[in-house]
Amino acid sequence: ISFSGVDSSLSSLRNCQSYINTGMDIATRVALDLVESFNDVEEVDSMENVMLEYAAMDRELNHYMTAIEETVHQIKRDKPENIPDLQYLVKEKYTALESKNNDSDLQTNEKYMYFKDQLKEMRKQFRLQSGDGNESIEQIDEDIAVTQSQVNFICPITQMEMKKPVRNKVCGHVYEEDAILKIIQTRNQQKKKV
């Protein structure tokens, strides 16, 4: 029995799995960007749900590929006289694998665990854990340190040479003091996180 068609199909399924992994990487970056830009917890939670959906697709695809590989291995080992019903045998193995599914399995997906770790670190870095997002301007000022001025040092906000540059201790970015304080005050007046 030739399994070249099956091998080709498995190769295509592995490509699909790489697309799932890429999707999980993108969802992780989007969630981290949301945390960094101080967006809703709801939006970050929706990205976590996307990650769980990807993890479920990945698990399903893994089970299907395992069922195919085990069936092919079994047929090669047993060398039956008649060509067996591959579709039935694969479906039987796949159903057995899927019946063992548990929602907690998704939590152990490698990419999902990485997502959770990165999210936790990013939240810690931006002090968003347990409602610590209502910082006053005085508290924020403590996170900004004055730096030495440099020739032709351009502010990313004003696009002009900085006269009084300050560095954010959290992210390390450097701004013209008046420009960044104006943005901080505006965000506070709008009751948005800074």
Tell me what the mean pLDDT of segment 39-55 comes to: 87
pLDDT for position 127:
58
pLDDT for position 133:
47
SS3 state of residue 168: strand
pLDDT at residue 150 is higher than 50? no
The CATH number of 151-193 is which of 3.40.50.720, 3.50.50.60, 3.30.40.10, 3.30.450.20?
A: 3.30.40.10
> pLDDT class for 129, splitting at 50, 70, 90?
very low
Tell me what the mean pLDDT of segment 18-32 comes to: 91
| Amino acid sitting at position 172 | G
Q: Where are the domains of the chain?
A: 3-130, 151-193
Listing DSSP states for 54-89 in one string gives: HHHHHHHHHHHHHHHHHHHHHHHHH--SSPP-HHHH
Tell me what the mean pLDDT of segment 8-29 comes to: 91
Residue 56 sits at the vertex; the CA angle it makes with 20 and 75, to the nearest 5 degrees, is 85
| 24 secondary structure, DSSP code | H
